[in-house]
Amino acid sequence: SPVIVWLRRDLRLSDQAAIAAAAAKGPVIPVYVLDDETAKHRAMGGASRWWLHHSLASLDADLRQKGSRLMLRKGRCEDVLAALAEEVGADEVHALHHYEPWWRNAEKAVAGKVRLCLHDGNYLAPPGSVRTGSGAPYKIYTPFWRALEKQMPPPEPRPCLQTIAAPQTWPASDDLQDWKLLPTAPDWAGGMRNFWEPGEQGAQMRLRDFADKASRYKEERDFPSIKATSFLSPHLHFGEISPAQVWHAVGKAGGSVATFLGEVGWRDCAQNVIVQFPDYGAVPARDTFDAFPWRTGEAARADLRAWQQGRTGYPIVDAGMRQLWHTGWMHNRVRMIAASFLIKHLLIDWREGEQWFWDTLVDADYASNAVNWQWTAGSGVDSNMFVRIMAPLSQSEKFDAAVYIREWVPELADLPDGEIHDPSPVCRPESYPDRLIEHRDARERALAAWEKTKA
Ligand code: FAD
């Protein structure tokens, strides 16, 4: 009888343990279930839906080359999979483990209705499995990474199957176009189409590009004007490439790649945190933040909108926010600066920023997003301190963001290097906004707010 493969954020054919296990047993029916009910308010945001559409189209094309195809169904996972299993006479559903709280609930519900076989492979090690000497999971990155590194390298990735046996007849599938995952009017995805190629081939291309420059990563990764990082985050998020594939390919690139592999380890660490704290995307890990006097009301909402639109009057922040809007991605150093600016300069609750990123990032990832926002706010288990307030202007100079700013804030493109990070009123074009708040005032206000939480 046929075997169902339930695909989620693991949209690849190579190094895919669920497909390999199913194919060893019989004809395979790969299915993607669009299930917004289970995820509720964590249903995918706009940029992720755009990515998903193209990734599913690409996976279907790849499957067809192997004699298979991708089934699309909509509804609650457990209902859809149980009905499909009955319809095709399948006894088993294979899938990779996922750790977002809603996926863990869904796995329980599915397992209540059909035989569900879960496999590893989306992380360097199964989240929650790396433990201290006393058997507890880690909360903090550095000791976590030290322990995980000892278990590395991950197993060699398995090659792609030559063919995937098809059932005698295919069950009915939805039409991808009918899912309406793409924007219509306005079509905001032009910049994304130019920059990304969702799917397994796009992921392999990024990996090859990166292997050539991996040895310079450590020195260059913090400079947003240099395209020094891998751009693998959306591909890793959607599982179009496995971290084991990344590890083995980059490891062979030579040079010092430890810093890069350590960043891939952050991705594992974030999952390890949400396994322990499933509400991490909504609940600060430190109680002191329950009483934090976040700004709310009309003026704060106007500031939030200015931040979202890249009109804060701080060129580095604005460049980042516009890069995000156009491409669905932002350089990591600039994510840190822009997030810190929202939280500490504007005193707006980090959850507002987390939600904006959730909607606009093509790599929006529940664990990585929540962990990085809580880290920036100083509310997390691993935290940076709230009182360490990043100065956007000196960050911009230190990490030489001039080229980056000229690319994303075109109204400042003609300013000389000496003016670009912090345009003086004489040089600043009229179309560029005044600063929402001066750095020194923002710093004082933030420190005063922090003092109140201790009262
Ligand atoms: P590279 O530098 O090439 O790193 C390789 C891979 O390591 C990345 O693809 C990613 O999978 C992983 N990685 C790198 N840095 C981190 C990190 N700090 N935390 C977790 N994983 C990391 N990353 C996401 O994938 N999804 C998110 O939703 C997300 N939200 C973020 C929110 C904030 C406020 C901040 C400061 C960072 C966030 N990051 C998030 C982490 C990081 O910015 C991106 O992973 C990185 O910029 C992706 O670019 P890259 O693939 O070129 O990274």
Question: Which whole number is the average pLDDT over 61-72?
Answer: 98
Which atom in ligand 1 lies closest to the alpha carbon of residue 339? 34
Structure confidence at residue 382 (pLDDT): 84
Delimiting residues of CATH 1.10.579.10 domain(s) in the chain: 287-454
Q: Ligand 1 pocket test: which of 213, 237, 348, 372 has the largest number of ligand atoms within 8 Å of its C-beta?
A: 372
The interface pTM score, or ipTM, of the predicted complex is: 0.99
Class of domain 1-122: alpha beta
- Band (pLDDT 50/70/90 cuts) for residue 187 is very high
User: In CATH, what number does 287-454 get?
Assistant: 1.10.579.10
Question: Which whole number is the average pLDDT over 241-253?
Answer: 91
- Band (pLDDT 50/70/90 cuts) for residue 185 is confident
pLDDT of residue 306 exceeding 90: yes
Q: Report d(CA 237, CA 270) in Å as an integer.
A: 12
Delimiting residues of CATH 1.25.40.80 domain(s) in the chain: 123-156+200-276
Q: Ligand 1 pocket test: which of 217, 261, 334, 363 has the largest number of ligand atoms within 8 Å of its C-beta?
A: 363
Edge-to-edge strand list for the sheet holding 28-34: 71-74, 28-34, 3-7, 92-96, 115-119
Task: Tell me the torsion sign for CA atoms 231, 234, 239, 240.
Answer: negative
Whether 122 is in the pocket of ligand 1, judged by its Cβ within 6 Å, is no
Within 8 A by CB and 6+ apart from 371, the residues are 266, 269, 270, 273, 274, 280, 380, 382
> By C-alpha distance, which of 308, 300, 302 is closest to 339?
308
Give the chain's mean pLDDT: 96
Structure confidence at residue 395 (pLDDT): 98
Which atom in ligand 1 lies closest to the alpha carbon of residue 233? 9
Higher pLDDT, 238 or 253: 238
pLDDT of residue 255 exceeding 70: no
Return the CA Rg of the chain.
Answer: 23
Residues 432 and 322 sit within 8 Å (Cβ to Cβ): no
List Cα–Cα distances, 160 to 19, 22, 43, 210, 359, in angstroms: 10, 14, 30, 22, 33
Structure confidence at residue 290 (pLDDT): 87
Question: Which whole number is the average pLDDT over 213-221?
Answer: 94
Structure confidence at residue 146 (pLDDT): 96
Q: Report d(CA 334, CA 34) in Å as an integer.
A: 32
Q: Report d(CA 320, CA 329) in Å as an integer.
A: 9
Residues 378 and 340 sit within 8 Å (Cβ to Cβ): no
**CA max distance for the chain:** 75
Structure confidence at residue 112 (pLDDT): 98
Task: Note the Cα 307 to chain centre separation in Å.
Answer: 20
**Helix, strand, or coil (residue 119):** strand
Question: Which whole number is the average pLDDT over 426-442?
Answer: 96
Higher pLDDT, 454 or 175: 175
Delimiting residues of CATH 3.40.50.620 domain(s) in the chain: 1-122
Structure confidence at residue 251 (pLDDT): 81
Span 8-61, pLDDT tens digits: 999 999 999 999 999 999 999 999 999 999 999 999 999 999 999 999 999 999
Percentage with pLDDT > 90 across the chain:
95
Question: Which whole number is the average pLDDT over 214-230?
Answer: 96
- Band (pLDDT 50/70/90 cuts) for residue 256 is confident
Helix H or strand E encompassing 22: helix 17-23
Residues 412 and 406 sit within 8 Å (Cβ to Cβ): yes
Q: Report d(CA 33, CA 397) in Å as an integer.
A: 47
Fold (CATH) for 123-156+200-276: 1.25.40
Span 397-413, pLDDT tens digits: 999 999 999 999 999 99
- Band (pLDDT 50/70/90 cuts) for residue 232 is very high
| Cα 233 to averaged position of ligand 1 atoms, centre (Å) | 6
Question: Which whole number is the average pLDDT over 291-295?
Answer: 94
Residue-level length of the chain: 455
| Cα 27 to averaged position of ligand 1 atoms, centre (Å) | 37
Question: Which whole number is the average pLDDT over 200-226?
Answer: 96
Span 127-142, pLDDT tens digits: 999 999 999 999 999 9
| Cα 310 to averaged position of ligand 1 atoms, centre (Å) | 20
Structure confidence at residue 254 (pLDDT): 64
